[in-house]
Amino acid sequence: MDDLIGRGAAVTAIVRDDIPFSLLYERKLDSQINIVRGQVEDYALLERTLAEYEVEVVFHLAAQTQVLIANRSPLSTFETNIRGTYMLLEACRRAPLIKSIVVASSDKAYGSTPRLPYDEATPLRGAHPYDVSKSCADLIASSYAHSFRTPLNITRCGNLYGGGDLNFDRIIPGTVRSVYYGQPPVIRSDGTPVRDYFYVRDAVNAYVLLAEKMFNGAPPGEAYNFSNELQISVLELTRRILAIMGREDLNPIVLGGNSGEIQNQWLSARKARELLAWSPLYTIDEALTETIQWYREFFDRKRSCKQAFSLPA
């Protein structure tokens, strides 16, 4: 959103829940954009929003994004991720001003396969609730592009991270929070799952680049993997964070659980590099350093606020 505002775009966001410490309010972005209150599953609201705000470019980022929540609450995950996708795309199909749509899918849409890295020809075979929701949304988007020539392309990114993510069940925010408060980080798995970890600033650059190309007439219906193409285990990532924060004395607590997540996943971004001339701008250590600094400042502000108002920790 910062990037779009900086480019002079008139931004309209559909906001379901108010989250007090989210970037929307932390950076006072709510005073710089149009906000429509509601849910992405609400067709009438989507149709009204696209028409009244004369929307030309759509970034479909709305989703329930947490694997653990999807396992606990598959129905709400399917409602948002699947129903929300086809409702939005149907509203876009009927909106005459729409020129470009970026649908944010995920590497999880591929499911689990022994052939790595995943490229865009890898079949979509989600098995667990979150993975299935992304496979379905991805296929629905593809059907709109191919059947109706809806001007959309699909992004499949690795595990996104960066400042502003307040889902502390995730490995990077959770680890940084633990270390900030002097506690050993907790790893739910045995630490061996391997992932792509993809910095949100690189993702924003990719989304905007793709939207611009679509706006200028690039063909619809393509899917692109975006990744720094660096494979790293959960335990190795945790140790990197400990090193950057200067707390290598804190030994991670490894629970060794199985949460219904895929063991190994990483992507080839060759198609994006060759067809879009895209490449990541950040190394993982640069991105982690920026991310950690954001959380340090965030927790410092929370701590100062509690002290000022005598709130408990």
Which sequence positions are flagged as catalytic?
130
Positive or negative, the Cα torsion across 246, 251, 257, 263? positive
Q: Which of 46, 41, 138, 154 is nearest to 92 (CA)?
A: 46
Q: What is the 3-state secondary structure (H, E, C) of the chain?
A: CHHHHHCCCCCEEEECCCCCCCHHHHCCHHHCCEEEECCCCCHHHHHHHHHHCCCCEEEECCCCCCHHHHHHCHHHHHHHHHHHHHHHHHHHHCCCCCCEEEEECCHHHHECCCCCCECCCCCCECCCHHHHHHHHHHHHHHHHHHHHCCCEEEEEECEEECCCCCCCCCHHHHHHHHHHCCCCCEECCCCCCEEEEEEHHHHHHHHHHHHHHHHCCCCCCCEEEECCCCEEEHHHHHHHHHHHCCCCCCCCEECCCCCCCCCECCECCHHHHHHCCCCCCCCHHHHHHHHHHHHHHHHHHHHHHHHHCCCCC
Contacts of 214 (CB under 8 A, 6+ apart): 99, 100, 101, 102, 151, 152, 153, 220
Write down the residue that tokens 């990483």 correspond to.
Answer: 266
